[in-house]
A and B are shown apart, each in its own frame.
Chain A
Amino acid sequence: MPTSVKSLLVGTTKGAFILDAGPGRRTWKLRGPFHFGQVVNDVRLDPRDGRTLLASATGGHLGPTVYASLDRGKSWNEAKTPPKFEKGKERPPGKQKDTRGLAVKSCFWLEPGHVDEPGVWYLGTTPAGMFRSADGGRNWKGVAGVNESKVWALWNSNGGNATPGGAIFHSIQVDPRDKRHLYASISVGGTCESVDGGRSWKPLNKGVESDFFPGEPGDWGHDPHCMIIHPANPDQLYQQNHCGSYALDRSKGERWTRIGRNMPKSIGDIGFVMVGHPSDPRTVWVFPMDGTKVWPRTSPDGKPAVYRTRDGGASWQRCDKGLPREHAWHTVKRQCMCADRDPKRTGVYYGTTSGEVWASLDGADSWTRISSGLPHVYSLRFGEFR
């Protein structure tokens, strides 16, 4: 195998797969399945070493865990200490105050830590919880500032388990300038920020709409689907929310602006993904889905399209060249779209609920299907093995 390989890491309902790029990313070779038969919610390659590969999985009725590979997926080791909530008494629905007494239902979002903390990883779970590993995913410990937070119940629909798949802790983001500065999102809880490495969190939801509650939105109870620190500007946040697409420049304040209002009315600004350009902080991509009436979770009218803004959301372009023109009744889930780091011929990729993976090597201008027949895709991440 060549020394350096650009790869797409695919998590699905039936295991993980890896798509390795050939020269110029013109061809892709599928490997796998890994963890066959298990639900794999996320697969990430550590960008700090280009070697450590983690997968968050739930095996049928066996509960969740995390696997690590140091040889590009040939062999995997299960975590010695998988994520576990603290012991306690589980309370009836609506009475649960924090995660003590609960069991982790799924390991969901994996995030490598700060470049100055090699081996540190973060994990978001359902029910909403956060874990940290300091040894490359071998041992996991709960982050008390989340799992035992005094407002935990407010992140979990007052203790219930409301959203499809439950209350999910996701979109963990680490400020590249400060290892203690973290952001995260919770469905249905909201987006939050920590400046002390996760010991305490404050809400960051001003300006975000929540049309599923009557009256004015509060600090919590919002439904972010995917939130990012833009890779080209650590002060610039974007999020795809249940109630639209938003941007927030943290150097200017704490109020989100609904940039999705500038999307065509016939398309709307509902979806799950939000992806930033590697070098242009005003360019992001989204994948709208049908957000009308019953939320069928398909592309609007069965006609998939990526939408791109190059001006921070003031205007959007439809990018569907090469995509199916009709009867493509799929969508793209929250960690199923990504970009590589090529600043000029930026690769943009997405995986669908119908088991397809699509690629664009020109910033979404045109698209090619590079894999099909996969199970329902739960995650698609770019990584470069070194």
Chain B
Amino acid sequence: MKVRVASVLFEYTDNRPMVEARGATLAALLEDLDRRHPGLRFRIVDEQDRLRAHMNVFVGGRPTRNLDAKLAPDDEVCILQALSGG
């Protein structure tokens, strides 16, 4: 499925805003993303498997912070970030 990522993650995706990954759940998708783009998962999820603050995930346009969220093969996943601070 297609995964859209925020610009802050382009360092890990060869500057591509849209990448491919597979997974039946959001957690599995992030694992696959990390295999394809090493280091990417830890920028999205901390060592306690919590989405980092300000890191926002949308599945089919709906926001979720649940890593166990089920994914359909044709879902579009967006991993976006509300940049804030000075």
Q: Which residues of A contact B (CB under 8 A)?
A: 59-63, 65, 78, 80, 82, 84-85, 87-88, 90, 101-104
Contacts and interface: CB of A to CB of B under 8 A. Distances in A.
Top 8 A-B pairs, shortest CB-CB distance: A84-B47, A103-B46, A61-B54, A62-B43, A103-B47, A78-B39, A103-B48, A63-B52
B52 A82 contact: no
| Residue picked from B8, B38, B54, B85, most chain A C-beta under 10 Å | B8
A104 B47 CA distance: 8
B76 to A, nearest CB: 22
B8 A62 contact: yes
Interface of B: 8-9, 38-39, 42-43, 46-50, 52-55, 81, 83-85
B85 A60 contact: yes
A61 B55 contact: yes
A104 B46 CA distance: 8
B39 A61 contact: no
A323 B75 CA distance: 61
Contacts of A103: 46-48, 50
A374 to B, nearest CB: 16
A101 B47 CA distance: 8
B48 A102 contact: yes
Nearest to A62: B43
Given A85-B47, A87-B47, A103-B47, A61 B81 contact: yes
B86 to A, nearest CB: 9
Given A65-B42, A84-B47, A87-B49, 7 more contacts: A61-B52, A61-B55, A61-B81, A62-B52, A88-B48, A103-B46, A104-B47
A63 B83 contact: no
B82 to A, nearest CB: 8
Nearest to A37: B8
A82 B40 CA distance: 12
Given A60-B8, A62-B52, A82 B42 contact: yes
A102 B85 CA distance: 23
A166 to B, nearest CB: 15
| Residue picked from B38, B43, B48, most chain A C-beta under 10 Å | B48
A124 B47 CA distance: 17
Contacts of A102: 48
A60 B47 contact: no
A78 B43 CA distance: 12
Contacts of A101: 48
Contacts of B46: 63, 103
B37 to A, nearest CB: 12
Contacts of A88: 48
A83 B9 CA distance: 19
Contacts of A60: 8, 81, 83, 85
Contact of A59 (B8, B48, B49): B8
A265 B23 CA distance: 66
Contacts of B39: 78, 80
Contacts of B47: 84-85, 87, 103-104
Nearest to A142: B47
A287 to B, nearest CB: 25
A82 B81 CA distance: 21
A358 B80 CA distance: 41
Contacts of A82: 42
A82 B42 CA distance: 9
B83 to A, nearest CB: 7
Contacts of B48: 85, 87-88, 90, 101-103
Contacts of B8: 59-62
A82 B50 CA distance: 16
A61 B53 contact: yes
B70 to A, nearest CB: 24
A65 B40 CA distance: 12
A359 B40 CA distance: 40
A298 to B, nearest CB: 19
Contacts of B52: 61-63
A89 to B, nearest CB: 9
Nearest to A86: B47
| Residue picked from B43, B54, B55, B81, most chain A C-beta under 10 Å | B43
